[in-house]
Amino acid sequence: MSEKERILFKDISQDFSKKTKNYTSINLKKNRNLMRENPHPFLKWAGGKRQLISQMLKYFPRNYNKFIEPFIGGGAVFFFMKPKISIIIDINEELINCYKVIKTNVKELIELLRNHKNEKDYYYNIRAIDRDEEKFSKMSNIQKASRMIYLNRCCYNGLYRVNRKGEFNVPFGKYNNPKFCDEGNLLAVSKTLENVSIIHNSFEICLDYAEKGDFIYFDPPYHPISKTSSFTSYTKENFESDSQQKLFNVFKNLDERDCKLMLSNSYNEYIKNLYNEYKIIKLDAKRAINSNATKRGNIKELLILNY
């Protein structure tokens, strides 16, 4: 690791607030134009809905009380809707940490992101930090968020994947100019998150918050359409068929509470049969993230509604 890298991550156990005294302050008056930017996902995320919003738009409910998204992921639907009252949830601890840091410490995060480098050796040194449990545990939440955003933007095909130990294991992406410090968007995202409840937990926790008239959008890891298409390793615990069944049970429970429900999933017989009593819509999508470039392209997805 270079001297600059050692400086960046040295003494990570000390109080991070002491370090921020020397940070270059972000002049928000000078950057008002950045604050006006429409927020959009700050991470690349498998199954992200940004390209599908135009097809989904007519199916969003016009009126609802609060918005809940139990698999927030990249948050494309959330950022598009910008609901007045919302709860976002995810079981991925590092992902939720990013949202919390952007909400409360965006200036410090931006300063750390500015110091990263688009270099192969540097990338693998940063990736390797989670192999040292003691070192990783001593990192501040801001440093962890900086690390995750950097790795996500510089890794191969924007893929988030961990092994059974929970270690990020995606190779370097070799991009010419990855945008790992999108200052304008991060400021806009921070503004959007000001009054949002951000929860680290599994999707079932939404049952504790959902009430009649709420709108809940589910975008879970998709059920595989073939033996080789499974992509469920967002955490060390995969999302398999039993998880899909548990999700259906939650969907059913919320339906009985008169919540407005929307769920996305892959186009396959298992999911269609599971939700056959509800309204099922077929959407045209593009698979942007796949380890095999020849398998990226047009596919079908399901949008399931109870209204």
- Spell out the domain ranges in the chain: 53-93+193-305, 94-187
Residue 28: predicted pLDDT: 45
Highest mean pLDDT among 22-26, 112-116, 282-286: 112-116
Q: Across-strand partners of 148?
A: none
d(CA 6, CA 16): 16
pLDDT tens readout for residues 66-98: 999 999 999 999 999 999 999 999 999 999 999
Q: The pTM is what?
A: 0.85
pLDDT tens readout for residues 146-169: 999 999 999 998 889 999 999 999
Is the per-residue pLDDT at 201 higher than 60?
yes
Instruction: Please give the structure tokens belonging to residue 6.
Output: 């050692």
Residue 207: predicted pLDDT: 99
Is the per-residue pLDDT at 13 higher than 90?
no
CA distances from 25 to 102, 255, 307 (A): 16, 48, 48
Share in percent of the chain as helix, strand, coil (round to 5): 40, 15, 45
Q: Name the least confident of 71-75, 138-142, 169-173, 287-291.
A: 287-291
Query: What residue type is assigned to position 30 of the chain?
Result: K
What does CATH list as the number for 94-187?
1.10.1020.10
Q: Which carries the bigger pLDDT value, residue 215 or residue 237?
A: 215
Mean pLDDT of all residues in the chain? 87
Residue 6: predicted pLDDT: 53
Strand 197-200 to strand 279-287: parallel, antiparallel, or no bridges (unpaired)?
unpaired
Query: Any idea which fold 53-93+193-305 has?
Result: Rossmann fold (3.40.50)
d(CA 241, CA 256): 23
Residue 18: predicted pLDDT: 43
